[in-house]
Amino acid sequence: MVRMMREGRLRAPASDATEGGSGGGLGLAEGDGDGPTGPSPEELARREERRLARKARRRASRREALLDSAREVIIDEGLAFTMDKVAAGADVSKPALYYYFRSKEALIGALAVEVLRVETETLGRVIVDAESGLEALAASVRAKIELYRRDPDAFRILYLWAPMLGVGEGVRRSEMLPLQEVVTHALEAKLIRDRERGRIDRAADPHRLAMIAWTSAQGILSLVLGAGDPETSPHSLDELCEEACRILLRATAA
């Protein structure tokens, strides 16, 4: 009953003023566009659109709760996590969990895609804000390392646990690669402009430089975060990051 009222499907009893003196009882309020013979086709279409929008919001909210629960369980238990614990953490039934995610692989794949979205947005911003391709090259390395320094578990989900559990090729091709290409193409475009303006060596390949920047940050993070707590690592993220940036800029500048 409460849910029906929230969705506007049950209306309060109509008053005499609104129902032409027909008295009390349960009245169904007519929406905009209702004619003497009932709702118009346009109004019916609008109502269906609103119903589908509410349904989509509910599904998105439930999916987000499941992913939040999965992240907590996976961080606590690693790849030995169970779907039962994920369902319990989100306060849903196991069949409901499987409605959204058909397997552990699908679940961690969805988590990995969400992490990659954040990475793409973060690196995209610093690349756009950089005044030159050279600045964007170094900024992308620093931004990626700083992102995962703050959230090392996200790095492990995307780059360690998802590959180990076996994220499907379909997910990689349809969702992950397009996101990674957004950053690569944005950085490459700025480096091409730098090369045209004589700021970088004309023999430099902008695409390769973008890939080297990504690989440099990835290697540093794998070295430090893959071994456990970055605070106890013998390697300094800051020192490795700045040395990688110096080498990149020194080798690239005209």
CA distance 41 to 32: 11
DSSP 94-127: HHHHHHH-SSHHHHHHHHHHHHHHHHHHHHHHHH
Listed in sequence order, the residues at least 6 apart from 1 whose beta carbon sits closer than 8 Å to its beta carbon are 10
Q: For residue 12, how far is the Cα from the chain centroid?
A: 41
Q: Is the pLDDT of residue 8 over 50?
A: no
Is the pLDDT score of 110 beyond 70? yes
End-to-end CA distance of the chain: 71
Domain ranges of the chain: 39-102, 104-252
Residue identified by tokens 């992490």 is 115
Residue 3: burial class (beta carbons within 10 Å; 0-12, 13-18, 19+): exposed
DSSP reduced 3-state for 130: coil
Kindly state the average pLDDT of the residues 146-153: 94
Q: Give the residue with greater pLDDT, 1 vs 243.
A: 243
Look at residue 227 in the predicted model and tell me its pLDDT. Answer: 67
- pLDDT over threshold 60, residue 213: yes
Nearest to 96 by CA among 68, 62, 70: 62
Give pLDDT, residue 230. Answer: 67
Residues 33 and 47: their CA atoms lie apart, in Å, by 11
Q: What pLDDT is stored for residue 26 in this prediction?
A: 38
pLDDT for the residue numbered 235: 76
Interaxial angle between packed helices 237-252 and 206-225, expressed in degrees from 0 to 180 and rounded to the nearest 10? 170
Q: Which residues of 93-116 are buried (b: 16+ CB within 10 A; e: fewer)?
A: eeeebeebbeebeebbbbbbbebb
For residue 209, give every residue at least 6 positions away whose Cβ sits within 8 Å of its Cβ, in sequence order, or none: 137, 187, 188, 191, 200, 248, 252
**What CATH class does 104-252 carry?**
mainly alpha
64-90: pLDDT as tens digits? 889 999 999 999 988 889 999 999 988
Beta-bridge mates of residue 200: 253
The class level of CATH for 39-102 reads mainly alpha
Residue 97 has what pLDDT?
A: 93
H or E element in which residue 38 lies: strand 38-39
